[in-house]
Amino acid sequence: MRRRTLNAVPPTTSANGKIFRVLGVDPAAAGATGYGIIESDGRRCRMLRFGALRATRKGPEHFPQRLREIHTMLSELIEEFQPHGVAVESVFTALNVKTTLRLAEVRGVVMLAAAQRDIPVCSYSPREVKASVAGYGHADKQQMQLMVRALLNMSETPEPADAADALAVALCHVQAAQFQARLDAGTARPTAPAKARAIHAAAAPSPRTARSRDAVSRISLLR
């Protein structure tokens, strides 16, 4: 296996605990397995490290060793960066059966490395990742690389494409987590305008009560 690390930035330490760090993985059955670590403070995201792990020896007889080395690499990244979540691209159903099974085995290794540290894992389809990052579910690799560069404010376009895909998966997970957090916050407690509307609704008389009061007033006038 040949591991290629393309960039590295020291992680941020935060006293208020608002930093959310994600390890994104783009698994591959035969080619390079991309990885990327990003972190978000709720307003912007930045890249910490990305790269790709490429097989130096081909053939099914070397596949078990490849799985072991992928697991070792991910375990080291998890140990170093302590991510709050791991995001992995799901199996593309249009692949042939043999490739799909091999890809599922690589995904299993990713999930195992995360589970050994009690880190939650989320899967996203290629179309979900493209729609989240590029706004278009059929974006090509070059479009994705340019969008990843822009969203992470990188000085260069991330290469290889496997590493850029891993960063895109991580960005997709950050956006999904932020959306879920806003949804949970809205469900847990109403906002100030919502509270005001609720108080006003409770204090206002119902239409039936208002009609009854009008009727009483008219009767009093007739008397």
Q: Which of 39, 76, 79, 89 is catalytic?
A: 89
Q: What is the DSSP string of 141-192?
A: HHHHHHHHHHHTT-SS--SSHHHHHHHHHHHHHHHHHHHHHHHHHHHHS--H
Q: Catalytic: 80?
A: no
89 is catalytic: yes
Neighbours of 210 (CB within 10 A): 11
Nearest alpha-carbon partner for 17 in 37, 39, 47, 46: 39
Structural contact between residues 96 and 181, judged by C-beta atoms closer than 8 angstroms: no
Q: How far is CA 139 from the centre of its chain?
A: 18
Name the catalytic one among 26, 39, 69, 165.
26
Active site residue 41: no
**Residue of 39, 69, 162, 165 with catalytic role:** 162
Q: Which residues are catalytic?
A: 26, 89, 162
